[in-house]
Amino acid sequence: MRKCAFTEGEYYHVYSHVIGDMALFSTDRDYKRFLTTLFVANGKRDIAHLDRFYDRNLVSDIRDGRVDIGKPLVDIIGFCFMPNHFHLILREKKDGNISLFMHKLLVSYAKYFNLKYERRGHVFERTFDAKYLNGDNYLLRALAYAHLNPKDIKGWKRREHKYPWSSLQDYISENRWGKLLKTDFLLNYFDFDKKEVGRFIETARNDDYLLLDDRN
């Protein structure tokens, strides 16, 4: 049974690791495919022939209204993709939607991954893990933690704001994804001063944020 129950209107830090020592993302195409699937999975309608798409073109079409995926299942507040795992900050719009959204996301990417790398079986260690963000402080800390994850990749420490597979740059500069990424909570908290957002993320660098797994 999942330790974290999802409640409408609440925020959650959702994350998952690949099995063993495999790389979840080995190429830019893998990252682009997961990014595309992230946004496509957040709609009540299915997109036919998704396997034909893997880059940002489909995301741009969805963002700009040229492709209709239906009403969003969740609010995507932030994300960060790492070589062997990923982090998402989500808001539950309706009870059960986060679980549905994550099922669509993980199943779709696992099918792509197994086909591309000619393997069978599970791709992720478990379905996914989640931590309830009880209040603004926890939500802010989770956003900072997720966005600073690239510091552990060689060459990206102190350059996390330029990491392409994170939503940090969408907070401190232009939001690439428009309405697909809900940035209002964090920006409103800092009176829409993007420089203050950047300073907050930087001051959180040494914050002690614990995942569920860290306490087991």
User: Going from the N-terminus, what domains does the chain have, and what CATH number goes with each?
Assistant: 11-204 (3.30.70.1290)
146-159 mean pLDDT: 94
Instruction: Compute CA distances 24 → 42, 108, 125, 161, whole Å.
Output: 21, 13, 11, 22
Q: Which residues contact 24 (CB under 8 A, 6 or more apart)?
A: 17, 18, 30, 34, 81, 82, 83, 84, 85, 86, 113, 123
Strand-pair category, 129-132 with 74-82: unpaired
Q: Is 11 helix (H, G, I), strand (E, B) or coil?
A: strand
Mean pLDDT of the chain: 90
Tell me the pTM.
0.92
Per-residue model confidence as pLDDT tens digits over 110-140: 999 999 999 999 999 988 999 999 999 999 9
pLDDT above 60 (res 63): yes
Alpha helices for the chain (secondary structure H): 28-40, 56-63, 97-116, 136-148, 168-172, 184-189, 194-203
Measured distance CA(112)–CA(37) in Å, rounded:
10
Give residue-wise pLDDT tens across range 71-81. 999 999 999 99
DSSP codes of every residue in 145-174: HHHHGGGGSTT-TT-GGG-TTBSHHHHHS-
- Residue 24 pLDDT > 90, yes or no? yes
Give the model confidence (pLDDT) of 161-214 as tens digits: 999 999 999 999 999 999 999 999 999 999 999 999 999 999 998 888 888 655
Q: How wide is the angle at C-alpha 86 spanned by C-alphas 169 and 171, nearest 5°?
A: 15
Q: Is the pLDDT reported for residue 93 higher than 90?
A: yes
Sign (positive or negative) of CA dihedral 214, 124, 95, 9:
positive
| pLDDT of amino acid 8 | 96
Count of alpha carbons within 13 angstroms of residue 2, beta-carbon side:
14
- How far is residue 145's CA from residue 165's CA, in Å, rounded to a whole number? 15
Residue 4 burial (10 A CB sphere; 0-12, 13-18, 19+): middle
From the CA atom positions of the chain, what is the Rg in Å? 16
Percent of the chain with pLDDT over 90: 79
Using CA atoms, how far apart are residues 213 and 79, in angstroms rounded to an integer? 19
At residue 54, the pLDDT reads: 55
Give the residue from 167, 163, 141 showing the smallest Cα distance to 152: 163
Express each pLDDT in 140-151 by its tens digit.
999 999 999 999
- Region 99-114: mean pLDDT is 93
Instruction: Note the Cα 171 to chain centre separation in Å.
Output: 14
